[in-house]
Structure 1
Amino acid sequence: MTVEARPPDTTARAEGAAADPAPSGPLLSVRDLTMTFPGRRSASGRRGAPVRAVDGVSFDLAAGETLGLVGESGCGKSTTGRMLVRLLEPTSGSITFDGRDITRLSQRGLRPHRRHLQMVFQDPHSSLNPRQTVARIICDPLLVQGWSATDARRRAAELMDLVGLIPEQIDRYPHEFSGGQAQRIGIARSLATSPRLIVADEPVSALDVSVQAQIVNLMERLRRELGLAYVFIAHDLSVVKRVSDRVAVMYLGRIVEIGEKRALYESPQHPYTRALLSAVPLPDPAAERRRERIVLLGDPPSPAAPPPGCTFHPRCPKAQEVCRTERPLLRIAASREVACHFPGD
């Protein structure tokens, strides 16, 4: 069942949503995106060094494509996702969505594009207002876009059915649903305005394994039926492999490898990517015993004081002198882009 939002004509005119020809380029284009947070103040009132959570991220995303964004906790994945939908204001760089630069648009100027750019959050219960019914949660984006209350409620019931919930439960509150059901509500809310791109920030990490599979299958079905594009943020590489067309690996705020899923999983070029993949359990016990396990020494450096050169060099088994002094840029290696002076085995 495919449900398409049809807002009133007056709303479309008010938003300037005229039938312009679709741009031939990527749906989303990100260039040199950075996010720097001010340092924390100490007890003496002195502010610490600023933290560069995202440091020059660039990638393109085609319509209907899923890009997996992976990396250790604290590498900047969630911050990148929040900047894409303008929940955080980038320090520098640009975000072009559907051929329009939305990086510095005011909230009013962003509203016509907001309906096509939505987000699914990690914790389903904390992302839903406990004082609002499901009907109100799903209807709010539509009411902001100019829908009547009657049409918005009808649309909300259709969306509940689309994501596998019982429409008759529309007047219940979030606490009356399980974690998986609450995440379905969050997905329904993100679909309310018929978006073209959804940023999914760890959408299954807070759920049981059996429920994770249900939510992943639901998101895959919605992508096929509605033609959605996803930026799928996760630390579970097996989930990312299941849903993604391409994968970008982040380390300390930078993308260190990006390419087609199959090539990246079968022949990782960056030492950090190889270490991540070696930690993914294999279903075959014999193969699991035979394969090499790469154990990285030490913890990731602080983004408030990143090391010079390649930020991975303090933990890299292949590091040489050039790695300590010169920052590697993304360049083509084995059919994908890798930021490493010595890519490959």
Structure 2
Amino acid sequence: MTATARPLLSVRDLSMTFRGKRGRAAPVRAVDGVSFDVAPGETLGLVGESGCGKSTTGRMIVRLLEPTAGTITYGGRDISRLGQRALKPLRRELQMVFQDPHSSLNPRRTVARIIADPLLARGGPAAQARERAAELMELVGLIPEHADRYPHEFSGGQAQRIGIARSLATGPRLIVADEPVSALDVSVRAQIVNLMERLQRELGLAYLFIAHDLSVVKRVCDRVAVMYLGRIVEVGAKERVYAAPAHPYTRALLSAVPLPDPVAERTRQRITLPGDPPSPAAPPPGCAFHPRCPKAREVCRTEAPLLRIATPGEAREVACHFPEAA
């Protein structure tokens, strides 16, 4: 996002704590003070290991989950505490594409009805909704004969096209794509990625692209935010983050991405982190990454680092007491 661009979405200190059932389990702080912006027409990649809180963050943004704390500002308006009635007009501009295409589609409804449902829910005429569904099917690469079929008759890639078409029905400006290609065969992923890129160019969409596949993120995203145990540890332009990661965790993640050059792949050094990520129900004091960090010192064990500018004059931030030199 440029310095003069007004964010379409602005998230500040967003947190989510899941309470233990009947007091028997410790509360889980799944998201802990996350902040980022998404500009109009931009794709921000949100990456990290499973369980880091990235999907929870996406669901809070579209208000499928109620935030425990923090603010979500969309189009200059704070929507983080709006009731369902006040949210309804905004639903058309904020949509979501889910990870598992089949489980996100109603198995009892035809493709045409699934895509038309968002319009019918807003009180639109049935004939107009079906006409719009036919237009969207063509836009995402489905044929008219698919209209009266059911989700179980489609492959994973086709089902995800249906999900994408449904998300476009109301003409959104921002789509939260939660692992949109991770459940698909490798051969199909490129097709869905190409489709999403084309739709962004044609419709001016902004994406929050949640993923753990850093190769896909490098392909589709403008900026990247890296999460670890509910917090963002590094965020910046894709080119800078991939070329010179400032946080030790980002460096370790990128070292696991396969290289297209077989010689370079054989000779490069991979970074193996010791242990497993701590439980969000019992996070370590200080920097959450310090038990696995090769650079950890005493201050890391006692003081949580703030997200700050990594290099003067560069719009990249890192939460580390001892960031890597650019």
After TM superposition, the score normalised by the length of structure 2 is: 0.96
Query: Which amino acid is the alignment partner of residue 8 of structure 2?
Result: L
| Whole-Å separation in 1 of the counterparts to 2:243 and 2:219 | 14
CA distance, structure 1, for counterparts of residue 126 and residue 25 of structure 2: 49
How far apart, in 2, do the equivalents of 1:311 and 1:169 lie? 49
Counterpart mapping for 1:247-266 below 5 A: 247-266=224-243
Within the candidate set 79, 84, 88, 1:102 is matched to 79
* Letter paired with 1:229: A
Q: CA deviation at 1:40?
A: 4.3
Alpha-carbon distance in 2 for matches of 1:62, 1:146: 31
> Any idea what the Cα deviations from partners look like across 1:98-140, whole Å, max 9, x if unmatched?
1111111111100111100000000000000100111111111
Superposition deviation, residue 47 in structure 1: 1.2
Instruction: Tell me the distance in 2 between the aligned counterparts of 1:109 and 1:207.
Output: 36
- Corresponding residue to 1:118 among 88, 95, 103: 95
Q: Return the letter of the residue paired with 2:197.
A: E
How far the C-alpha of 1:291 sits from its partner, in A, is 1.5
Residue 13 of structure 2 corresponds to: 32
The 8 Å contact of residues 158 and 167 in structure 1, kept in 2 or not, is answered as: no
Match status 1:338 vs 2:315: no
RMSD: 1.1
* 1:234-268 alpha-carbon deviations (Å, 9 max, x no partner): 00000000000000000000000000000000000
CA distance in 2, matches of 1:169, 1:179: 14
Q: Secondary structure at the match of 1:34?
A: strand
Residues 204-215 of structure 1 mapped to structure 2, 5 A cutoff: 204-215=181-192
1:314 matched to 2:291? The reply is yes
Please, which runs of 5 or more residues in structure 1 have no aligned partner? Answer: 1-22
Q: Does 1:176 align with 2:153?
A: yes
Equivalent AA in structure 1 for residue 237 of structure 2: E
Out of 134, 137, 145, the position equivalent to 2:122 is 145
| 1:1-345 superposed matches below 5 A | 25-40=6-21, 47-334=24-311, 335=314, 336-345=316-325
> Hey, what's the Cα distance between the residues in 2 that align with 1:268 and 1:39?
36
**Equivalent position SS for 1:186:** helix
- Counterpart Cα distance in 1 of 2:94 and 2:51: 24
Paired AA for residue 19 in structure 2: P
User: 1:207 aligns to what SS in structure 2?
Assistant: coil
Residue 81 of structure 1 aligns to a residue whose secondary structure is helix
Q: One-letter code of the match for 1:205?
A: S
1:197 is displaced (CA, Å) by 0.2
Q: Any idea what SS the aligned residue of 1:240 has?
A: helix
Residue-by-residue CA offset, 1:32-91 (whole Å, 9 max, x unaligned): 0000001246xxxx5111000000000011000000000000000100000000000000
Q: Deviations over 1:288-307 (max 9, x none)?
A: 12222100000000000000
Deviation at 1:167, TM superposition (A): 2.0
Q: Distance in 1 between matches of 2:127 and 2:185?
A: 36
Moved over 3 A (4+): none
After TM superposition, give the deviation of residue 24 of structure 1 in Å: 6.6
Q: Deviations over 1:213-244 (max 9, x none)?
A: 00000000000000000000000000000000
> What is the CA–CA distance in structure 2 between the aligned matches of 1:64 and 1:147, rounded to whole Å?
27
Matched AA of 2:321: H
SS at match of 2:259: coil
Distance in 1, matches of 2:151 and 2:203, equals 26
Report the Cα distance in structure 1 between the residues aligned to 2:233 and 2:72, rounded to whole angstroms. 20
Q: Partner amino acid for 1:339?
A: A
Q: Write the distance in 2 (CA, Å) between the matches of 1:39 and 1:286.
A: 50
For the residues of structure 1 that align with 2:212 and 2:142, how far apart are their CA atoms? 27
- Following the alignment from structure 2 to structure 1, what is the Cα–Cα distance between the partners of residues 150 and 110? 5
1:261 aligned partner, one-letter code: K
Amino acid at match of 2:219: R
Aligned residue pair count: 319
